[in-house]
Amino acid sequence: AAGVIQSPRHLIKEKRETATLKCYPIPRHDTVYWYQQGPGQDPQFLISFYEKMQSDKGSIPDRFSAQQFSDYHSELNMSSLELGDSALYFCASSLLEGTFGYTFGSGTRLTVV
């Protein structure tokens, strides 16, 4: 069965650079979520999209932005990167805003040096 695909798997950036993370949800899933997991921490909700519209916003820095495209894939854009942005970034998708649960991708490990 198709899963949630995230790219790249690993990313190394320098401070003040920009990074773009991509997420391809399970086909026919209409909701995409982004989470950030710092070392030794639980995942923290950043932002979600339902049918290509932003549906909820969590603790996402103003330096970050995201969008969902017509083919339902989503991108998380992170600018002016800081050392503290180093984390695992997960994308999850669901049908009908979580009615049948959530499926997570394998994550993108971002390291800012």
Size of the site for another protein (CB under 8 A): 28
Please identify which residue in the block is written with the tokens 């050392």: 83
The answer to whether residue 97 forms part of the interface with another protein (CB under 8 A) is: yes
Residues facing 25 on adjacent strands = none
Give 19 or 46: the residue with its C-beta nearer to another protein. 46
109 binds another protein (CB under 8 A): yes
- 20 Cβ contact partners less than 8 Å away, ≥ 6 residues apart: 75, 76, 77, 78
The correct pick among 55, 67, 79, 86 for binding another protein (CB under 8 A) is 55
Which of 30, 52, 61, 102 lies at the binding interface for another protein (CB under 8 A)?
102
Q: Of 22 and 50, which CB lies nearer to another protein in the complex structure?
A: 50
- In the bound state with another protein, the residue whose beta carbon lies nearer, of 16 and 57, is 57
Residues 29-48 that bind another protein (CB under 8 A): 31, 33, 35, 41-45, 48
DSSP strands (E only) in 1-107: 5-7, 10-13, 19-24, 31-37, 44-50, 53-57, 64-68, 74-78, 87-94, 103-104
